[in-house]
Chains A and B, each alone.
Chain A
């Protein structure tokens, strides 16, 4: 099974900061990584698919990059509504899908 290792597990930042979250796959998954944002009590929301494609309706301050085994999610200028937990997920292999452990983004 493909493992996804996400870091950091938590992150404190201020409004306006640029933040980067990383995800490493245990083998090459080409560009088949997706990023989700989850707020308390809600289902995850798709932000980025295929490593770098912005889901419709998602603000352009969110971006993704990477291929092979190493991927990043960047938020260029944090807004108050961005404080949430973020997950990466690989869709290269057949299910079951695997997720990163999550990154909880908190207000400094």
Chain B
């Protein structure tokens, strides 16, 4: 059973870059033909998909965030990462890493990490 764990700073200053890493344990990220991705949830609000990277390295981004987002996978470390540039207070949220198969449900979730954007 795979486990996902987010890591990264919990506080980021406005205009700086938010960087998070998701470490996958319990199996090789390469052995799953999965979309690995990031979902965020602002306080008291709903779920928003930021984007995904397919195990092959192909990326898919939310059009509303595309200009600021980079998602990458490092199979040697069994990790995938998120970079969100030029952050503002509206980017304050719990960030989840997650994984699903094509056409499948999101069956792997990290526990989530709160990132606050504040000076």
Contact = CB atoms under 8 A, between A and B. Distances in A.
A17 interface: no
A101 B49 CA distance: 12
Contacts of B2: none
A52 to B, nearest CB: 12
Given A1-B63, A95-B52, A96-B60, A46 B107 contact: yes
Interface residues of A, number: 24
Contacts of A46: 105-107
B23 to A, nearest CB: 16
Contacts, number: 66
Contact of B104 (A49, A96, A101, A102): A49
Interface string B20-57: 00000000000000010101000000111111100000
The A interface is mostly helix, strand or loop, or mixed, namely loop
13 contacts: A34-B106, A42-B112, A43-B96, A43-B110, A44-B106, A49-B105, A87-B47, A92-B103, A95-B35, A95-B37, A100-B46, A101-B46, A102-B46
Interface of B: 35, 37, 39, 46-52, 60-63, 96, 100, 102-107, 109-112
Contacts of A99: 46-49
Contacts of A34: 105-106
Contacts of B106: 34, 36, 44, 46, 89, 91, 97
A24 to B, nearest CB: 16
A91 B104 contact: yes
